[in-house]
């Protein structure tokens, strides 16, 4: 398992400057709009509310979609 905090995603701009973004709400909303599966909705709720999750293989497959 791997822990991911979607509130602290590090990105680099074209000049190489690094910054941190909070993607928890956007990702949670995106999953919510794309699925009717209860398991995926549970994952969405955790990401949206907590921002940080422990990712297993089945959750990684959801996130990769």
State the greatest distance between any 2 C-alpha atoms of the chain, in Å, as a whole number. Answer: 41
CA distances from residue 7 to 33, 36, 37, 52 in whole angstroms, order as listed: 20, 24, 24, 7
Taking phi over 0 as left and psi of -120 to 50 as alpha, with beta for the rest, 51 belongs to left
pLDDT digits (tens, 9 = 90+) for 11-62: 999 999 999 999 999 999 999 998 888 988 999 999 999 999 999 888 888 8
Q: Cβ distance 48 to 28 under 8 Å?
A: yes
Range of the domain at 28: 2-64
Report the C-alpha gap between 7 and 2 in whole angstroms.
15
pLDDT of residue 58: 86
Residue 65's pLDDT band, with cuts at 50, 70 and 90, is confident
What's the whole-model pTM score? Answer: 0.79
Length of the chain: 65
């Amino acid at each position: 398992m791997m822990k991911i905090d979607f509130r602290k995603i590090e990105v680099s701009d074209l000049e190489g400057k690094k910054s941190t973004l909070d993607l928890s709400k956007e990702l949670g909303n995106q999953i919510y709009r794309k699925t009717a599966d209860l398991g995926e909705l549970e994952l969405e709720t955790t990401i949206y509310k907590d921002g940080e999750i422990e990712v297993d293989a089945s959750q990684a497959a959801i996130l990769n979609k």
